[in-house]
Chain A
Amino acid sequence: MTGRRRFELSDRAIIWLFLVPCLVLLIGMVGYPFVSLIILSFYRFSILRSDAGREYIGLENYDFLLGDPELWERFIFTGQFVIISVACQFLIGIFVAYYLQKNFRGRDIIFTALMMPMMVCPIVVGFLWRYMFNSEWGVVNYLATLFGSDKIDWLGITDNALVAVVIADTWMWTPFIILLATAAFRGIPKVIYEAADIDGASAFYRFTRITLPLAAPILFIALLLRMIDSFKQYDLFFAMTGGGPGSTTQTVSFTLGKIAFSYFYTGEASALAVILLLIIIGLSLVLVRYLNLLSTKARG
């Protein structure tokens, strides 16, 4: 057994050995596309018409995009969507997780069943909600009429469409939060609660002063992942509203997809991708900083 010392690797070697596969894969996978994005964002170029060549135009693509008031509306709409849907997912997810953390009979079955929305293929999710939200034969409007409401035009009016897509997105991704939050809550040592009980703390106090702060680091990872993913969301809008009425329910990713893949304005799309990436990176950096602060606090 002790003979294994022969194969000993220095810590430095282990760091390299363990990081290199991951780095090689990621750099291999993102290198070419990302460098292309950055370079092409300074050109007037269409990859579909590559024979026509490319023309260096400096910052014109950026100038055109940032000078377009339409694009800012897309950013505002995307922001609304991200904030509302992630907030809904968090509130519901934490609430449900609070009750699911307890041991009770059949919890495993219920837990697995509650995870199902997250597992449905996103393409099917879009179709499913578009079908359920149809104003004439959708089951949502059937429920609405049961409560005495008229049939609601869910997908044809901007505000309603936003609500509809938030409902669909929240449906799909709340389980993600439930899973992470349940795990976080269950990880809090019982001793801490016992100490609080001796002090006669209320359930509310226990939750806000013990459970939440201790679970915060995990909840922040969940928040980070959800924010990044909802920023990218366009499948649901695509299937449910097609971006309409007008262009009012297009997220930035939706617009980006159109410029890149329907217009095939590769240069302009690259510039927009760079802008979007910078914004997401900026937001994530802030969140990651905060996360680091929190974990140091939790460890301290």
Chain B
Amino acid sequence: MTIGTARKRCLWLSAVAGLALGIAGSASAEEETLTFVWHAGTCADAIVKIAERYPDKNVKIVPALVPYGPEWHGKIASEFAIKGDGFDFAMWDSQSTAEFAGAGHAYSINKIFEDSDSLDASLFPRASLARYGEYPDNSGEFWGLPVNQDAYGFMYRKDLFEDPKEQAAFKEKYGYDLAVPQTYQQARDIAEFFTRPDQDLYGWGQMGGREYDFATTASNSFLWSYGGELYNPETFEVDGYLNSPASVDGVQAYVDMFEYGPPGSQNWGWDEVNAAWQQGKLAMAMQWYYFHGSNADPDVHPFAEVTGYANLPGAVGRDGKFRRQFSVGGQGMGINVYSEKVPTLVKFMEWYFQPEQQKEYAAVCQTGLKSVLESADWQNLNSYNKHFAKALDYTNDYWHLPEYAILLDELQDEVSNAITGKKTVQQALDDAAKRHERTLRRAGYEIKRGDTKPEVPDQVITPVGKDEVEVLTVN
């Protein structure tokens, strides 16, 4: 009994001590803290590191890191839902701008541009501002600053592509030279050529996971390139656009590419693609620019030296036009409208978006500051920045609607069904279109049904088709 009593006393003591500590813990120091929410990673590390040099030593930048994916969105959204000031600024996905700004939770960046002497819209490329902060589209209203630009990129194994034996064998089989593919049709040939399961080598790595946006960011890149569209932003029609023949072509091409990936790769996310790449299992892969830093790092894996970078291919659609379109990634930096520290934060941002700080940041992350992006220093810093400088012209994004989370989940569901063969691509996209229209109607949108359903919806929305295959080169 004595031991038991002693232990119990011990527990009591810990409880008292715990409570005392708990109370002590909630009283914070005098210095002003600016808290931001982001997923952990090099970019968040970089901001924290650069902020240590911030001249005003009374201001401290505190990271509140979350996992990439729904917890990240949930964390920000929950704070906004209660209109709390748990964080002062946050980096949220480009597609969330509509959701957060649309509900009035984001502080107007236009206002900051007006009030601030040094921050101005002209510091950033117009396209970047639009991608990471504009809502509604083309309104000139900004709610976020481009702090981590990203796009779907392309990696290939230079040692394989430049091997004369492989080149000769490829030419003999397909009748043209082995090079970085400019169309998905070529990518398919090359992927087929390099798919050699006996050597544990596969032609093509891509994501198809059900989580978050894994499958659809990839499949959308195909869909847009083949001339498809997700919906008609004027009439809110989805049926006839998302399941148009061109859209089906695109998603079908995406689904077919899994034949040239490792078996079981249908549910992969970015980490699995990276892991397979770093094991030398893949000849080509589509991957976010965000990860190129580590894929180019010889300390991380032995194939870093022979990893080449380029932009993703386009495709020749059924109308004979060539299009190159891929998903935009990355995040804008938005400000919590309920934060009481906006003036302090604006001062910090004025300092942070100066070229000196951005140059340091851009060494590891994709800044949105024009002067840095255009500098030769930055473009030649590594083997992929110069590709990235061109990539932004070819990016496209999901629906910029407050309902995007639902639309995304429904499309993920159906694309996943198509990948696993539970439905044909046509069925899957038909169902997705039905579900999307139901969701839009429930949200109060009026769908104006047009007379015709376009075969290639890109032609009626924002045509980007070109007559010739455009070869993207960098010097």
Contact = CB atoms under 8 A, between A and B. Distances in A.
Do any beta carbons of A and B sit within 8 angstroms of each other in the complex? yes
Interface of A: 47-52, 134-137, 151, 153-157, 238, 241-248, 258, 261-265
B137 to A, nearest CB: 19
A134 B212 CA distance: 19
Interface stretch (B32-40, B74-82, B378-386, B456-464): B74-82
Interface string B99-113: 100111100000000
B405 A263 contact: yes
A244 B402 contact: no
Contacts of B265: 135-136
B79 to A, nearest CB: 10
Interface in B355-410: 402, 405-406, 409
B343 interface: no
Interface of B: 70, 73-74, 77-78, 80-81, 99, 102-105, 209-212, 214, 262-267, 269, 272, 275-276, 279, 281, 402, 405-406, 409, 412-414, 416-417, 419-420, 422
Given A48-B81, A245-B419, A263-B409, A136 B267 contact: no
Contacts of A153: 263-264, 266
A237 to B, nearest CB: 10
A213 B289 CA distance: 62
B103 A49 contact: yes
B420 A51 contact: no
Contact of A245 (B262, B263, B416): B416
Contacts of A263: 405-406, 409
Nearest to A154: B264
Contacts of A49: 102-103, 402
A262 B263 contact: no
Nearest to B439: A263
A245 B267 contact: yes
Given A245-B210, A247-B413, A51 B104 contact: yes
B81 A242 contact: no
B413 A246 contact: yes
Nearest to A47: B81
Q: Which 6 A-B pairs have the closest CB atoms?
A: A244-B210, A135-B264, A242-B211, A242-B210, A245-B420, A153-B264
A237 B420 CA distance: 18
Contacts of B210: 241-246
A263 B417 CA distance: 21
- A contacts with B: majority SS: loop
Nearest to A135: B264
A262 B69 CA distance: 10
A48 B100 CA distance: 8
A246 B103 CA distance: 30
13 contacts: A48-B80, A49-B102, A134-B272, A135-B264, A155-B264, A156-B420, A243-B210, A243-B211, A246-B416, A261-B74, A261-B78, A263-B406, A264-B81
Contact of A244 (B81, B267, B272): B267
B73 A262 contact: yes
Contacts of A242: 209-212, 214, 267, 269
Contacts of A50: 81
Contact of A246 (B78, B99, B275, B422): B422
A148 B405 CA distance: 44
A189 B93 CA distance: 63
Contacts of A48: 77, 80-81, 99, 103, 105
Given A245-B419, A263-B405, A155 B267 contact: yes
Max chain A Cβ within 10 angstroms of own Cβ: one of B105, B416, B422: B416
A50 B84 CA distance: 13
A155 B268 CA distance: 10
A141 to B, nearest CB: 9
A264 B413 contact: no
Contacts of B266: 153, 156, 245
Given A137-B275, A151-B264, A153-B264, A264 B77 contact: yes
A177 B153 CA distance: 49
B413 A156 contact: no
Contacts of A262: 70, 73-74, 405-406, 409
Given A51-B103, A134-B272, A245-B416, A156 B267 contact: yes
Max chain B Cβ within 10 angstroms of own Cβ: one of A48, A49, A52: A48
Max chain A Cβ within 10 angstroms of own Cβ: one of B209, B210, B265, B276: B210
A41 B402 CA distance: 21
Contacts of B419: 245
